[in-house]
Structure 1
Amino acid sequence: MPKTFPFPQDLLDAQVALHETRAAYEKYAKTLPWSAEPMPGWEGDKQLHSSYRCHKEDSPGYTEEQATEVRRFQDELRRLSAEVMTHPYWSTLSEDVVAARMALKHAHELGRGVAMPGGGIPDLDKNRALADWLEWQLRQVRGRIRELEIKEQQEQRRREQAHAALRWKIQPQRSSSAALVHRGDCALYPVQGGFLNREEAVIALAEPDIEPCQICRPETGLEQCG
């Protein structure tokens, strides 16, 4: 005889609400930018034997209203999940708890009293559901990895800019002008690398054929360090 689970109505109602809320959240999420915080876009490597390149446009991040709505959905999903998971009905089962939990997920499709052939979910359905869940998890993880990579790149650029701001550099002499000493972060000579420390910059400025940049005024920075 097929195993029937007489789920109480409040448990069925909570499970249906959980299904509906999750579906509404997934539909709303498709309308959101791909990252919660503003992020620059990116383009992936060209695929072998194909001209296709995966890419993302710049993300403006969530608006305040979008962030509030996402939190509301997440809070409601947590509340409904807890209501289903901790319902007193589960403590009345001495066995078949896993089968009953799986059956409850389909209760809105089959009716209040759910009969499962042999008292369980077919292996094919179990594995299909598992595959869908694992694919969703993988997409989430890959998206999170990409966000973290972008943040790391931004942090690296900030560290490099901060390092440059505490250094100096020399723009080689050109035919019509003298060599110039710049602050390390001067935009007029955006070359990275070959930085001078304070002592080297002081020595360079003492040379008769080297002048300070009139825009970033590197001598001011040297005076502040002294």
Structure 2
Amino acid sequence: MTDSPAEAPAFDPFAFPPALVAAQREAAEVEAELRRFQATLPWSREPQDGWEAPEQVGGMSGYRSSRPPSPGWTDEQKAEYDRLWELRRKTTLAVYAHEHWKACGAKAVEARQALKRVPEAQPVVKAEIPDRVQEDAALELAAG
């Protein structure tokens, strides 16, 4: 009697290597950091005059488009934005170019979307917690 070689388990496109999960988390964290930073910037990188378009007629009736003047970004803001954008490119590339995707075949898109939902791949969001919330004041009044 001869021992038959053990069959290798079938490839599971949803069994993500730890390095890929870590790369996805880093990419998501950089994306979140870039978005937070963008929210602090004036709307235009370079100084621009503000404008107000006339009220539209037709499908967008009642909609007024406008922008306030923009002072543009400081050199420090430009440098930080460019740094974050380049880091976003690198971290995203690390995910998309990972060897795991080559073996996924027809399941690659589905697996890619699933990776984004893996809890360990989610960015750590810094919660902004106020010193006191309204419920705290109500509890103090009820206890007092």
TM range (shorter): 0.5 to 0.7
Partner of 1:33: 42
Partner of 2:134: none
- 1:47: Cα distance to partner? 4.2
Larger radius of gyration: 1
8 Å Cα contact 1:12-1:108 kept in structure 2 = no
**Structure 2: unaligned runs, 5 residues or longer:** 1-11, 123-144
Partner of 1:66: 77
**Structure 1: unaligned runs, 5 residues or longer:** 112-226
Are 1:106 and 2:135 counterparts? Answer: no
Instruction: Give the secondary structure class of the aligned counterpart of 1:5.
Output: coil
Partner of 1:21: 30
Partner of 1:76: 87
8 Å Cα contact 1:15-1:105 kept in structure 2 = yes
8 Å Cα contact 2:42-2:70 kept in structure 1 = yes
Q: 1:38 to 1:110 in 2, by over 3 A?
A: closer
Amino acid at match of 1:42: W
Structure number with greater CO (CA < 8 Å, separation at least 6) is 2
- 1:75: Cα distance to partner? 0.6
* % identity of equivalent residues: 37
Partner of 1:46: 55
User: How high is the TM-score relative to the length of structure 2?
Assistant: 0.67
Q: Distance in 2 between matches of 1:92 and 1:4?
A: 7
Amino acid at match of 1:37: E
The aligned length equals 108
Instruction: Give the secondary structure class of the aligned counterpart of 1:70.
Output: helix
Instruction: Give the secondary structure class of the aligned counterpart of 1:96.
Output: helix
More strand by share: 1
**Alignment match of 1:94 (pick from 91, 100, 105):** 105
User: How high is the TM-score relative to the length of structure 1?
Assistant: 0.44
